[in-house]
């Protein structure tokens, strides 16, 4: 599972091309690989808040924030959405609590059913305290079928966004970013039904300077990651999408510990993935994780901006492989320049 332990020419090229900056402490990944199939970021120009799900049928199902609808891509490679099957599969109601600002959708498949978790608010009152996570269900085999059922919102303790579900040791969990007074944090709960949670806890609120972007201090976009050893992680985005310094932080816990005990988790004091001005990568964050088609590589998918700005616009979907250190902690390296050729995921 650890690409750093392979000795194939392909993986050596990937290590050189993707991690050259972290290995030799040079400027932000400008090496290019040769004689192998490659791609360039971005994967999708308009690609904020990307999510990629690898299904048992061998296809990747991808989503990004579209604001006024939900759009789905299906492809054999998440790095080539230009040739993917795509469809606008759902539109919000004209009025009501989920009628506006359709953000951060995630598609999942469990109990032989498709689900989409997404953030939304009321167009007549589009403020933070009206934002919630909502759920759609589709019982057909094909998620492109237009039979999505609106199950309503998850009754969380606080209003919030960026709902994420995962399963660990036979238990399903729900994580999201709640609005708690002037801050946004990361909360975790047990998912007992598609729309019902219990035992909701707070993992943390902004506490470091790199997590505090005025006017609101924000932690958001929680994503679960299982390590190759005895650790599990929740990676989160901190700062704000309009801030160049928007980047990733990390909570870690022992895999056998009670994940709903806040004391089980420790927290990184510094960013684990951040901007690289030398490569014109700003505000990288709101990520997800997936595997290469053959299951041998771990990939991080995220959005970033090509120019320094104080806006959330121009966020594009990008991807790169990552590795693990000897303790089983992820090493994401530096975000890769749009001019760098990246080896395609293994198994294509």
Interval 298-328: pLDDT, tens: 999 999 999 999 999 999 999 999 999 999 9
Separation of alpha carbons 217 and 227, rounded Å: 29
Q: Do 177 and 222 contact (CB within 8 A), yes or no? A: yes
Widest CA span in the chain: 58
Name the active-site residue from 49, 97, 211, 334: 49
Residue 124 lies in a domain: yes
Residue 318 lies in a domain: yes
Q: Do 319 and 301 contact (CB within 8 A), yes or no? A: yes
pLDDT > 80? residue 148: yes
- Structure confidence at residue 15 as a pLDDT band (50, 70, 90): very low
Q: Do 347 and 294 contact (CB within 8 A), yes or no? A: yes
pLDDT > 80? residue 20: no
The model carries a pTM of: 0.90
Sheet containing 132-138, strands listed edge to edge, beginning at the edge strand earlier in sequence:
100-110, 113-121, 132-138, 149-153
Residue 348 lies in a domain: no
285-299 pLDDT, tens digit each: 999 999 999 999 999
Q: Do 70 and 105 contact (CB within 8 A), yes or no? A: yes
Active site residue 49: yes
pLDDT > 70? residue 109: yes
pLDDT (mean) for 12-17: 42
pLDDT > 50? residue 24: no
In whole numbers, what is the pLDDT of the chain averaged over residues?
91
CATH at 21? 2.115.10.20
- Structure confidence at residue 28 as a pLDDT band (50, 70, 90): low
pLDDT > 60? residue 10: no
Structure tokens at 177: 């970013």
pLDDT (mean) for 113-128: 97
189-235 pLDDT, tens digit each: 999 999 999 999 999 999 999 999 988 899 999 999 999 999 999 99
Structure tokens at 48: 């904020």
What's the pLDDT score for residue 348? 84
What's the pLDDT score for residue 236? 98
Number of domains in the chain: 1
Residue 57 lies in a domain: yes
Separation of alpha carbons 82 and 73, rounded Å: 10
Separation of alpha carbons 322 and 331, rounded Å: 6
Name the active-site residue from 97, 106, 211, 220: 220
Separation of alpha carbons 222 and 202, rounded Å: 12
Active site residue 128: no
% of residues, the chain, pLDDT over 70: 90
Residue 26 lies in a domain: yes
pLDDT > 60? residue 264: yes
* Overall size of the chain counted in residues: 348
The distance of Cα 100 from the centroid of its chain, to the nearest Å, equals 21
Write the CB contacts of 289 (distance below 8 Å, at least 6 apart in sequence). 223, 225, 235, 298, 299, 300, 301
Find where tokens 């009754």 sit.
Answer: 155
Residue 90 lies in a domain: yes
Containing domain of residue 38, as a range?
A: 3-343
């Amino acid at each position: 599972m650890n690409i750093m332990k392979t000795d194939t020419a392909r993986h050596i090229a990937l290590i050189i091309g993707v991690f050259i900056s972290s290995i030799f402490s040079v400027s932000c990944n400008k090496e290019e690989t040769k004689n192998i199939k490659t791609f360039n970021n971005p994967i999708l120009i308009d690609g904020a808040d990307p999510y990629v799900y690898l299904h048992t049928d061998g296809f990747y199902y991808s989503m990004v924030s579209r604001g006024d609808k939900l759009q789905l891509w299906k492809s054999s490679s998440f790095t080539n959405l230009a040739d993917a099957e795509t469809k606008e599969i759902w539109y919000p109601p004209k009025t009501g609590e989920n009628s506006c600002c359709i953000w951060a959708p995630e598609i999942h498949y469990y109990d032989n059913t498709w689900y989409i978790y997404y953030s939304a608010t009321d167009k007549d009152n589009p403020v933070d305290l009206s934002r919630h996570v909502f759920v759609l269900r589709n019982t057909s085999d094909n998620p492109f079928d237009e039979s999505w059922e609106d199950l309503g919102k998850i009754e969380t303790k606080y209003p919030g966004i960026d709902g994420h579900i995962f399963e660990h040791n036979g238990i399903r969990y729900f994580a999201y970013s709640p609005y708690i007074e002037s801050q946004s944090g990361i909360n975790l709960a047990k998912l007992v039904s598609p729309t019902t949670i219990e035992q909701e806890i707070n993992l943390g609120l902004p506490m470091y300077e790199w997590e505090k972007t005025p006017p609101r201090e924000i932690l958001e976009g929680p994503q679960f990651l299982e390590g190759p050893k005895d650790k599990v992680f929740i990676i989160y985005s901190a700062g704000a999408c309009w801030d160049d310094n928007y980047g990733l932080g990390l909570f870690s816990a022992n895999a056998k510990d009670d994940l709903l005990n806040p004391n089980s988790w420790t927290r990184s004091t510094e960013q684990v993935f951040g901007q690289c001005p030398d490569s014109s990568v700003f505000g990288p964050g709101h990520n997800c994780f997936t595997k290469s088609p053959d299951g041998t590589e771990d990939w991080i998918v995220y959005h970033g901006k090509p120019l320094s700005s104080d806006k959330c616009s121009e966020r594009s979907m990008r991807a790169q492989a990552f590795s693990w250190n000897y303790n089983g902690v992820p090493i994401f390296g530096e975000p890769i320049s749009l001019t760098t050729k990246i080896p395609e995921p293994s198994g294509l």
